[in-house]
Structures are given as structure tokens and as C-alpha cells.
Structure 1
């Protein structure tokens, strides 16, 4: 593909959210399908098409390939979550009267974790009009876990989620300048969640669920000339039904885990990208604007257990700009910056340390042979301090005697992340 032109190169993000409290940050969109994209803060990813991973952002980019192309790699994600200035308050009531009250610090140094997100993509041109492709990658793989004796266990606890996507796409070149594409996505997710009341380790919520859904994506590429082109893509995300064991203290039916179905609406996305190779220069500039429909998340509901949580998110936006420098025939250098707006609005949580974020990225491609190369990408994600106020007004201790506990947490959360990836690319 690089020999074809000097103009070198989420699916369903919502599957990163099996539950609203799951993971490093629920509104955090992980673009783990391209290491070249990782090195430029994903700027221009819906149109650059410098390797087969471009099909995951815009299926129409497959029309830019003249040879079969394979890309395979992984991205390592390290999340760093801190809770500071945290005050945890417990009020014990009996027959409506306050009988005991206490407050203590609930600071926590690091609730983040490490995860690996693999990816593989293959594009096969049929002729100068048609191409098809297939890919598989993990949208998200992370874990947020507070210690078992963390005093605010009803707000922290453990959250783990993994998601996988299998995509099949096709593209059609309508003219010298215009191409279109479409694809089908099969998404599978697994997730675990635990919330408990300390120091008695009383279970409040435990979920172990799995599910899958179908989505689709559409895309278009307009090539103004050999040095300038634009891409537009849309990805429809389904409402997923995840099934598994749910043990919810707020459900007044049978005690203990029950088979339940948790319905999760996933956000759709739209992206516009541009790529411009400066004339008589070794430099290319590229950019992207992406909309993510996080506002579909109002409540998390289970068919039997009822409403498990409220979150009331807002739509998010990504604004990315980057540059590529073609140093010589062996080395391509890149860098980028992305600004990501928070999915959270008025409701915040220490288990979902979501905020506006800045992505600082750099990377390179090294040409191994005339038909193969290696991509390296690095991104540091810098979050912001977020004020958190959470409360549970009535946790039943003894229903018969009318004894219940009201707890409250005020804190400041901060979440950063670091992503490092390698990817092998080859044309045939």
C-alpha cells in the first residue's frame, strides 16, 4: 500500500461498557485496532489507509488497496486511577432514628490495571472495483479493582470487562474519486462486577455476564487528487442483551444469584477525517472529528432485578490532529494530539473515573522488506481531576427491625493511561 501512494494511511465502543461501573473509565473509547493510528492519536484514521487496519475505522478505505494486505498486532494498556481527598461517611438508622455516625478517609493510590488488546485485519481486492476484508480485535480489555478491605467497597469494588469484535466488510470504487464501503460486526463481551459493604464483606451487587450483538458500519472516501482525500464513516451499535448471574441486594425477590438479563444500549459513532500530503514535501497532515452517542446510557436495567444503576451520560466528541514525516525509504515518523470530551455529565463515580482527556502520541514505521513493515505506537492519556459525590441512602441491615445504613462518599478522582503497541503489516 505504501508503494501505491505516498498518501499513507471503534467499532463498537460501547462494548467497553458491559456495566456502567465497569472498567478504567466507561466513556473511555479504546482505539486498539491500529498501531499506526496509536502513534498519531488516531488523527485521519478514517481515510489514511496505510495498512489493513484502516478497514476497522472506515470500510471504504479498502478500495485504496491494490494488493492483498495483512496487519496483526497488539496494544498494551496501563490504566492509573487515583482517589484523593476522599471522605467516607456512614449513618446507621433504626426505626427512622439516627443511632450512629462516623467518617473516615477513603483515599486510594492505584485502582488501575494492565491489559492486552490484540488485533488482526485482512483485505483482499477482487478487481479494480471491489474489495472485501475480515478482521478481529478486542475493543477493550481492562480491570479496575480496589482491595477487598477498601472501606468504600459499595463504590469501588472490582470491575473487569473484555470485548471482542469480528467484522466482515466490502468496498466498491464508484469512480476515480469516490468509493463506498459497508460492513457487519459481531460483538461479544464478558464482564464481572462486585460491590460489597465493608468491613462485613456483605454482598450488594455481583454480576458475571456474557452477551453478543450485531452492528453495522458504513463509509465513504473522496479522493480530491493524489495528495488530498477525505473520509466519512458511521457505525451503528446494537442494544446488547447480556445474560448471567446477578446477585443484587436491591432486588427483593429470592436471595442469592439469579439468572438475569442485563440490557445495554451501545453508542453509535460518526467520524470525519482528512489527509493532506504537502506538495513537494515529506510531510503529511491529517485530522479527525468523531461523535460518540454516549447519551443512550440513561440507566442500567436488568429484566428481573430492575434498575441496577443510573448514569445519565452525555454524547462525546474526539478532536484529533497529527503529522507524518517520511524520513526515508525505511523510516516513517508520526505524532498526534487528541482531545476527548467526557461521557459523564452530572453523575460521577470513583469506579468510573471519567473526565475530559488529552492524548499525546508518537510512533514510527520501519520497512522490513519491500512488502512488509513494523509499526510502533505510544500514547499517554492525561485525565483531569473530577469531583465525585456518591451516596446510597438506604442499605438494609435488618429489614424486620427497620435498621438500615446510609453512606456517602466525597472525593476527587483522577485517571491517566499509557498505551504501547506493535503491529506487523504485509502486502501480497
Structure 2
């Protein structure tokens, strides 16, 4: 097998793994930030300026021009959330109890490959899961009218072309193909019974299910204004999906049909990431990052049934999300590099719109990580992150709330997340005879 074929196969293997992975949302709303074991060790500081090595191409595809020869990278993150929704005694259904832990452990893999054609052009390929969500409360609980389970799953494949214009400026661009799947479940009234019967144990469920393939693009630049300083700017476009699927419910609860074919238009948000990496000494480099995600494009997608009639909607109406990060690494010796970072995330969800499906809030990330260079071709990465919620996370579904269905629901949310990531990088070519390339940050 040729060097290019082997490198691109690495990303293809990861794409296959993504198809069977369950995903938990941990990048604001239902986004997934866990795309790099290396960058996670910094809390993703400098992800757009190359702190994540090859996997930084998720945020900025232009970083592939920093990768000499033929390289591949695989990473996997185990996300361990704990989320409990505890209703207040004033809630009419309080007697039916809280949600239990709605968080589902998730394994999120990703894969990357780059191929240097010459000292000007690079080809790259990534396979990732940029969006994901699994929340699963107890089947019968006090908030079942508003949610029983929720699942969002995605796979994104993104080939790119990188161009190194000169020693201080590079750019890259490429199309992306994205599969998106959503499944939402909640309690509904018994057929022929009053609406309040949806709050009783054993109430039937309505299930909304749909999927689609959409297209977008990524683009980015890297700038090296001074020796040891790298600035990276990356952009991921919106992807518009026209979901096709079904709305299932017991006969009589949503009309004359038990299973309605439906469509719904939904856009995933565009994202802008800025990173800067600065070499302080031969052993120390610091990184900083900023990320903006345009979650406000989601609005309230209408669910269209037969005859073009709206049968329900998906009230989202998120605000934009922001992420600020700072990290550093220390090169202990030729084999070991240690890193750490912190970040603050402004969630696109607040009390005004917070739901039982996704009780998100502002968060603080604290991370540590390490790399081990096994030889001149193979290296390994590990990272650990703990995510703390800030302030009170309340759910207040009262008259005027977008989810309100005639039943008040007020609750406190207790949540935290642990993430463990591991990755490996491999050079398929011989570094001693590869095409020379001067990295923009430090020796890779």
C-alpha cells in the first residue's frame, strides 16, 4: 500500500468507528469539542494555531502546512458526564421523582491524515463527530412531559488543500460532508384521555426521528509574524440539513395517524476559532484561544407533516456561544512533553430557554496532558479534563417558556463532567529522507 493510501486510510478507519460511537455534548449546546487528545491537554488553547498538531485541522485546516511528510493521527475521548435534574416540591408531579443521572458515557473518536506533495502544497483529510447528544432520564419521572430521551449523532468528513505561500503565511480550504441524525422522545397523553395523563407513570411516548446529509466547508490561515509566534484563524461553515423521518405516537394523541412522515429544516452553526502560540524558551510554549459558535442560527425548526402542515416544532432559540482558553507546555526532554490549560465557556443556553433535554450552563474547564515520543515516527498523547458548572443551573418551565405545555416544572440541576482522552500520531514516510519543511511553531 502506498504512503498516501495508508495515511488516508487512517482517517477512513476513524470514520467507520464514528458510525458506532455514542456521543455526549460537551462544547456548549450539542456541540462536541473533544476532537484532539493533544489540544485537550491545554483545554484547547491554541487549537487553531497548531497546539493540537495534526488534529488542530478540525479548528483550522491550514495547520496541515506545519506537518512535514505523510502523517496520520487517531484520538478517542471517553466522556463521563453526571447530570441530575431534581424537581422542587412545588412541582405538581414532584411525587414521581427526579430524572436520575441523564448523562450517558460516550466514546468519541476522530481521525486525521496529511500528505505533503511538495514544499508548497498539502492534502489533508479528517473524519470527526462535531455534534452529539445523549440524555436518558428514567422512563417515568416528574418531567417526562418535557423529555424522556434525546439523541443527536453526526459524522463529518472533510478533505482539504493546504498552500504554504511563504515562510510566514499559509492557507487551506476544503468541502465537508456531514451526516446528522436526531431522535427525541417524550411522554404524551393516553389515547382518549385528558392531557394531564401524560404526567402519569406508564404514559405512552411520542418519538421524533429524522436524518440527512448536508454539505459545508472549512477554511483557515496561519501567520508567523515573528520567529516563535504563530497565529491561526479557522472557520467551519454552517451546514443546512433537511431532515426526513417520522413522528410516532399512540393513535389519537397527535391526530388520526400513529406514524407521520415528516421533514424539518435545521442548520448546524458556523464557528470561528482564533489561536496564538508563543515560544518562550526552547522548553516552554504558551497558547491562547478564542472560539465563537453561531448557535443563534438554530431558531425553532418546524416539523412538517403530510400536506405541508406543521405538526409540531423543535424550540431551540439558542444564543451564541463563546470559549476562552489559556495553556502551556513544557518539554521535559526529547521524549516527554507536559501540558496544562484552563478555559471558560459561555453557554448558548440560559434559564430563559433551558430545557430538561439539555440543561446546559456556563462552565470552567481544567485540563492536564502529556505526550511521549516513542521514536522519530510514533508518539502518544493522553489528557484529562474536569468540567465545573458555574453558578446555579435552574430549569424554570413556566408560562412564557418556549417548552411550556400547561404543566409547571421547576428544578435544580447538579452536573459535572470528566473526560479522558488518548491519541497516537504516526509518520508513514521516513523523516530522514522526507521533503524538508520548516514548522511554524516548533519541531514536530
Shorter-chain TM range is 0.7 to 0.9
Is 2:223–2:231's contact at 8 Å kept on the other side of the alignment? yes
**Aligned to 2:374, what secondary structure does the other structure show?**
strand
1:419 aligns to 2:409 (yes or no): no
Asked if the contact 1:213–1:239 (Cα under 8 Å) also holds between the matched residues in 2, the reply is: yes
Contact 1:51 1:71 in 2 (8 A): no
1:47 aligns with one of 25, 46, 49: 49
Q: Which residue is 2:361 aligned to?
A: 355
Are 1:369 and 2:375 an aligned pair?
yes
Corresponding residue for 2:346? 341
Secondary structure of the 1:53 match is helix
| Corresponding residue of 1:162 | 153
Change (3 A) 1:51 1:24: closer
Structure 2: distance between partners of 1:408 and 1:133: 51
In the alignment, is the contact (CA less than 8 A) between 1:251 and 1:306 conserved in 2?
A: no
- Counterpart of 1:78 in structure 2 is 80
- What is the match of residue 33 of structure 2? 31
Which residue of structure 2 aligns with residue 19 of structure 1? none
Unaligned runs of 5+ in 1: 1-21, 91-101, 394-404
Whether the aligned pair in 2 keeps the contact of 1:388 and 1:411 (CA below 8 Å) is yes
Q: Which residue of 2 aligns with 1:210?
A: 211
Instruction: Spell out the pairing of 1:236-255 with structure 2 (5 A cutoff).
Output: 236-247=237-248, 253-255=255-257
1:311 equivalent to 2:316? Answer yes
Q: Please say if residues 42 and 369 of structure 2, whose CA atoms lie closer than 8 Å, have aligned partners that are also in contact.
A: yes
Distance in 2 separating the partners of 1:26 and 1:205: 26
1:270 paired residue number: 272
Deviations 1:365-403 (A, max 9, x none): 01111111001011111123312111489xxxxxxxxxx
Matched, 1:386 2:388: no
| Distance in 2 between residues matched to 1:337 and 1:245, nearest whole Å | 42
Which residue of the other structure, out of 129, 142, 158, is the alignment partner of 1:138? 129
For the Cα contact (< 8 Å) 1:218–1:235, is it kept in 2?
Answer: yes
- Contact 2:37–2:381, Cα closer than 8 Å, also in 1: yes
Q: CA shift at 1:213, angstroms?
A: 0.8
Higher helix content, 1 or 2: 2
Partner residue, 1:231: 232
Measured in 2, the distance between the counterparts of 1:155 and 1:51 equals: 42
Cα deviations by residue, 1:335-385 (Å, 9 ceiling, x for unpaired): 111111011142111221110011111100011111110010111111233
Q: CA RMSD in A?
A: 2.3
**Residues 88, 106 of structure 1: 8 Å contact kept:** no
Offset of 1:201 from its aligned partner? 3.5
Supply the distance in 1 between the matched residues of 2:52 and 2:139 (Cα, whole angstroms): 46
* Secondary structure in structure 1 of the residue aligned to 2:48: coil
**Offset from partner CA, 1:68-89 (integer Å, 9 cap, x none):** 1100121111111012353464
Which is further off, 191-200 or 415-424?
191-200
Return closer, same or farther for 1:392/1:246 CA change in 2, 3 Å cut-off.
farther
Cα 1:87–1:259 shift into 2, 3 Å: farther
Q: Given the alignment, which residue of 128, 138, 154 partners 1:147?
A: 138
Deviation at 1:289, TM superposition (A): 0.7
Q: For residues 179-220 of structure 1, what are the alpha-carbon distances to aligned partners after superposition, in whole Å with 9 as ceiling and x for unaligned?
A: 111121111122322101242533453112221211111101
Q: CA deviation at 1:142?
A: 4.2
Aligned partners of 1:307, 1:342: CA distance in 2, in Å?
Answer: 26
Shift of 1:408: 1.2
Alignment-derived partner of residue 289 in structure 1? 290
More strand by share: 1
> Alignment partner of 1:151: what SS?
coil
Contact 2:54 2:73 in 1 (8 A): yes
Given the two structures, how large is their TM-score scaled by the length of structure 1? 0.84
8 A Cα contact 2:25 2:131, kept in partner: no
Contact 1:353 1:414 (8 Å CA) reproduced: no
- Secondary structure at the aligned position of 2:408 is classed as strand
Stretch moving more, 41-50 or 365-374: 41-50
Aligned-partner SS, 2:81 = strand
1:270-297 deviations in Å (ceiling 9; x for gaps)? 1111000104x41110011111101112
Post-superposition Cα deviations, 1:271-326, rounded to whole Å, max 9, x if no partner, equal 111000104x4111001111110111221311224442323211111000000110
Contact 2:182 2:211 in 1 (8 A): yes
- What is the rounded CA distance, in whole Å, between the counterparts of 2:145 and 2:394 in structure 1? 18
Where does structure 2 lack aligned partners over 5 or more consecutive residues? 1-23, 188-197, 430-444
Would the aligned equivalents of 2:39 and 2:51 in 1 still touch at CA under 8 Å?
Answer: no
2:185 to 185, 194, 197: 194
Structure 2 distance, partners of 1:310, 1:164, is 24
Cα distance in structure 2, aligned partners of 1:371 and 1:309: 48
